[in-house]
């Protein structure tokens, strides 16, 4: 069984409830003889805490376990910083129920105690890397746990693009852009674009066109190890953007090529033993709860 001693606490700023939960969890961990480590931005709004502090990008080097208090967006940011270190991450929800942050703050001590005792399930979630190439040079790159999205930015005009999968031409398209989503992201923005829900254990990507000019353009599910390339038309009149998890933004230009592929390091996501993906879907997406009869 893994021994967790140095516990990183990462919280979403701007929420008194998050601060309260961080304080409560920090006290509990100290009572258990463990070492809470506060992420520096949350530590800055907790005067007099007397705890070890670490920058988010360094948290994976000093923590054995990271606890993210906030919503799924908070966990996405932490995941991109921590995944390469192999440190497991557990999410405590302080907003609406999350697909990633699934521990309720009301029973945080009991659930964290279970995790510390080795009573949990662990999943691997892969991330995507995106690189923007201009005239053979890399001019921008980003990482996403949910998705990589090509979108118009502030423009309202369609984007003309070519899509290649593993070097094979797929189509020329005029649309508002493309969503390239992991299974983790399939219940996020890709879902609102008409994409399918993919179980988190799948090794696959889904490509979802955003308001395509032709109704025959449909989501495509491909192998998770595929290399995707999107080429923006030289004649495209606007300068679209690439967004990773809606948090990292890269400006593109006509003629740019964007390559998207799986990153080598995966996020280790921990859930309580009571976690059930379909139960979360029922709650989050409002599915019927009756069992027939």
- Has 223 been annotated as catalytic? no
| CA–CA dist 103, 124 (Å, integer) | 18
Tokens 């309202």 locate to: 156
Q: What is the DSSP string of 153-170?
A: TT--S-EEEEEEETTEEE
3-state secondary structure 97-125: CCCCCCECHHHHHHHHHHHHCCCEEEEEE
Closest alpha carbon to 251 in 162, 157, 132: 132
Contact 197, 191 (CB under 8 A): yes
> Cα torsion for 35, 71, 196, 127, to the nearest 10°?
-40
Angle CA 218–221–226, to nearest 5: 125
**C-alpha angle 65/148/178, rounded to 5°?**
155
The residue among 243, 198, 189 whose CA lies nearest residue 220 is 198
Neighbours of 138 (CB within 10 A): 10
* CA gap 33, 15 in Å, rounded: 28
Q: How far is CA 177 from CA 31, 148, 208, 217, 243, in A?
A: 51, 11, 9, 12, 11
**CB contact set of 292 (below 8 Å; sequence gap of 6+):** none
Is there a contact between 123 and 274 (Cβ–Cβ < 8 Å)? no
Which of the following is catalytic: 72, 102, 245, 256? 72
Which residues are designated catalytic?
72
């Amino acid at each position: 069984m893994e021994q967790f001693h140095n516990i990183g606490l990462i919280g979403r700023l701007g929420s008194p409830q998050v601060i309260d939960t961080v304080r409560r969890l920090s006290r509990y961990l100290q009572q258990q003889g463990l070492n809470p480590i506060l992420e520096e931005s949350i530590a800055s709004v907790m005067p007099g805490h007397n705890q070890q502090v670490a920058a988010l990008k360094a948290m994976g080097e000093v923590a054995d376990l990271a606890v993210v208090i906030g919503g799924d967006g908070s966990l996405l940011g932490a995941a991109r910083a921590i995944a390469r270190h192999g440190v497991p991450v557990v999410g405590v929800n302080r907003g609406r129920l999350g697909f990633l942050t699934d521990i309720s703050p009301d029973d945080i001590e009991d659930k964290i105690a279970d995790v510390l005792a080795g009573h949990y399930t662990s999943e691997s979630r892969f991330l995507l890397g995106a690189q923007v190439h201009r005239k053979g040079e890399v001019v921008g790159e980003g990482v996403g746990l949910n998705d990589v999205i090509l979108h118009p930015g502030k423009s309202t005009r369609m984007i003309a693009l070519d899509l290649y999968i593993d070097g094979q031409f797929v189509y020329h398209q005029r649309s508002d852009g493309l969503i390239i989503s992991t299974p983790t992201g399939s219940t996020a923005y890709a879902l609102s674009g008409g994409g399918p829900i993919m179980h988190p254990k799948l090794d696959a990507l889904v490509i979802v066109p955003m308001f395509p000019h032709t109704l025959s353009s449909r989501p495509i599910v491909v192998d998770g190890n595929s290399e995707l390339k999107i080429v923006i038309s030289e004649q495209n009149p606007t300068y679209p953007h690439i967004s990773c998890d809606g948090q990292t933004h890269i400006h593109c230009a006509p003629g740019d090529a964007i390559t998207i592929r799986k990153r080598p390091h995966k996020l280790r996501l921990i859930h309580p033993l009571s976690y059930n993906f379909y139960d979360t879907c029922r709650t989050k997406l409002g599915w019927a709860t009756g069992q027939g009869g």
